Amino acid sequence: MAMSGRFLIQKVAIITDSIACLTRELVEQYGIEIIPINFYAGGKLYKDWVDITPSESYELFLKDPESFKTSTASPGDCLKTYQSASKQAKDILCVTVSAKLSTVYNAAQEAKELAKTELPQTSTEVLDSQTATAAEGFIALAAARAAAAGKDLADVVSAAKEMRDRVSCVILLDTIRHVYRSGRIPKVASQVGSVLNIRPILTVSGAVHFAVAVRNRKHGIERILQMMRKKVGQSPVHIAVMHAYAPDEAEKLKKRVSTEFNCAELWLTEFSPIMGYACGTGTVGLAFYAEG
pTM for the model:
0.91
Half-sphere exposure of 181 (CA within 13 A, CB side): 19
pLDDT at res. 209: 87
What percent of the chain is modeled with pLDDT above 90? 68
Question: At residue 7, does pLDDT exceed 70?
Answer: no
Q: Classify the phi-psi angles of 205: left when phi > 0, otherwise alpha if psi is within -120 to 50, otherwise beta.
A: beta
Hey, CA dihedral for 134, 206, 83, 89, is it positive or negative?
positive
Question: At residue 179, does pLDDT exceed 60?
Answer: no
Q: Are 134 and 283 in contact (CB under 8 A)?
A: no
Q: Are 23 and 270 in contact (CB under 8 A)?
A: no
Q: What is the mean pLDDT of residues 203-221?
A: 90
3-37+72-164 is classed CATH 3.40.50.10440: yes
pLDDT at res. 292: 79
Q: How many CB atoms lie within 10 A of CB 23?
A: 15
Least confident of 64-78, 82-96, 138-152, 229-243: 64-78
List the domain boundaries for the chain.
Answer: 3-37+72-164, 168-290
pLDDT (tens digit per residue) in 23-67: 999 999 999 999 999 999 888 999 998 889 888 988 888 888 888
Phi, psi of 33 (to 5 degrees): -90, 140
Per CATH, the architecture of 168-290 is what? 2-Layer Sandwich (3.30)
Question: At residue 211, does pLDDT exceed 70?
Answer: yes
